[in-house]
Amino acid sequence: MTASKHSPNSLRHHFLVASPYLADPRFHGGVIYLCEHSDEGAFGLMINQPLQIHLGEILEQLDMSGGELDLPVYSGGPVEPERGFVLHPPGTSWQNTAKVTDEVLLTTSRDVLSAIGKNNGPDEFLVALGYSGWSEGQLEEELGSNAWLTCPATTDLLFRTPWGDRYRAVLELIGIDLNQLSDSIGHA
């Protein structure tokens, strides 16, 4: 993640949800938090698709404390699913941390996981494996074809809303009532 070439139209610190027009089933019902969006492309993490592994299992695999932690680990996206990411608020400094906003940081180093396992980590965090990425102009093209709905992100939704409620909560932020959506969109 770099701080270069941010345009006033950047969707950094926004949520994306797939519209019915997005053909890729991997993102159906998914909420993506955009960590980076510049002229060079976009990078985000899906925040509501938990994997079948919990954080304690990952910490045990890494020979770290915290094997009892029964917290979800999310599928951040289909790109590099073996790579880990931790979203968290500012506080302690970690080895490989990038600032998304003043309220959200992204860390990719093991030291944050070790601290979480020892109960010395950030108070709030979200752990994901893999990421969602777009090359230069790709996200803009998908937005132009109505594949995604967007809205500004909130840390409350990111860190404090249960994962099963995030999709509905983002749609509500956009102004869409999930109960009003029809499976037969576009059909008379």
User: Could you read off the pLDDT of 61-86 as tens digits, one per residue?
Assistant: 999 999 899 999 999 999 999 999 99
Comparing CA positions, the residue from 140, 156, 173, 177 lying closest to residue 39 is: 140
Q: What residues does 79 pair with on adjacent strands?
A: 131
Q: Is the pTM of this model over 0.75?
A: yes
Counting beta carbons within 10 angstroms of the beta carbon of residue 15, is it exposed (0 to 12), middle (13 to 18) or buried (19 or more)? buried
User: Which two tokens mark 28?
Assistant: 């159906």
Q: Over the chain, what is the mean pLDDT?
A: 89
Distance, CA of 18 to CA of 11 (rounded, Å): 15
Q: What is the pLDDT of residues 156-180, one digit of tens each?
A: 999 999 999 999 999 999 998 766 6
